[in-house]
Amino acid sequence: MYNLDPPDKLLDEAYAAAQAKFVSRSICIGALNDVDCMVPHLFDGKDLPMSSLRHLQTKKNKELTNFTVKVMFCVGLEVKNSLYQFFDALLYFQDPSPFYAFLKNGFALFLTGGVHSEIIAAVTFMVAPDGVFIDALAVSHGRGRGPCKLNSETFGITNAYQKLRRHSLIDGSFQNFKLGSLLMGLVERCAQRWCTVKGARVYVKMNKTVLKFYQSCGYQKLPSDKALPSQLLAMVPAFNVDSSSSETSIMSKPARNKATYSKRAATVKSPPEAAPAAAKKPSHVAFAMSYGVTE
C-alpha cells in the first residue's frame, strides 16, 4: 500500500531506526510528486523535464502502480546486487567487494520505474554527525542490462512519455532530466536534517569529466590541505576516500544543518581567560564517484 506519511518523516524514521540498530532494509518514501517539497526548485514550471517525468506515474486506490516512478531509501545491503549491477553498467566502476564494504554501513537513495521496477538513478552515501560522504551517483543512459530504459514498452505511449523523449539526449536515456540534481538535493536534505555538528559539509569525490555538474550544484574543490572531518573519516573506507589519481577530485559544500545556523551555535562564550582560537576542523564532505553522470 502507498504510504501517506510525508517523505521527510519516513526518511527520519528510517535513519533513526538505523542509528538504534543498523539492519538492512529498503522502503518507498513515495512517488516523484511526493518529494517536490524537498527540492521545490526542480519542480517549478510546466515545461521542465521533471514536470513531464512526474506524469509517468499514476496512483490507483492509493497504491503505486507498476508505471509509477518511485523514490526508494535503502539502509545497508538490502539491494546491493541490483545497485552494483546498475552502477557497473553505467560507470568505470569499482569491484563488488569495496562497494559492498561501503554500503554495509551506508545508505542509498534511488528511483525505480517501469513494468519491472528497474533502477533509473541512484546515489550511495554515508552519514556522520560531522558530515556526509557520497560514494557513487549515476543516471540511466538506457543501454545495457540493469538500468531502466525510457521506452514505450516500459512506460506505455502517453503524452508524458512523448514529451520526455524530446528531452532525452539518447533514445532510452533518462539523462538530461535533472535526476542527478534531484538525488543530490535529497542527500543534501538528509545532511541538513541528520548532521548535528556545527560546520558540517557534504563531500563528493568525483571524476573531473563531470566537474561542471557538481559546480552547478554549488560544490567547490576541497583544498589539498583539508581532509574529511574526524567522525566521517573514521566511517568511510580508505579506498573510497583516496583521490590521489589525477582524474579525481574532492569537492564539498555546506550542509546547512541546524547546528550551524542555530543562535546558540553562533554565540559561543569565550573562557574566562582568553586563549588563542583553535583551528577549525575541516567540515564533513560527501564524495560521489560519478564518471558519466549527466543531469
For the chain, the domains span 7-190, 197-266
Q: What is the pLDDT of residues 121-177, one digit of tens each?
A: 999 999 999 999 999 999 998 876 667 888 877 777 777 777 787 777 677 888 888
CATH fold group of domain 7-190? Aminopeptidase (3.40.630)
Query: pLDDT higher for 179 or 54?
Result: 179
Q: DSSP for 89-152, please give it.
A: HHSSPPPHHHHHHHHTT-EEEEEEETTTTEEEEEEEEEEETTEEEEEEEEE--S-SSSS---SH
Instruction: Output the pLDDT for position 98.
Output: 92
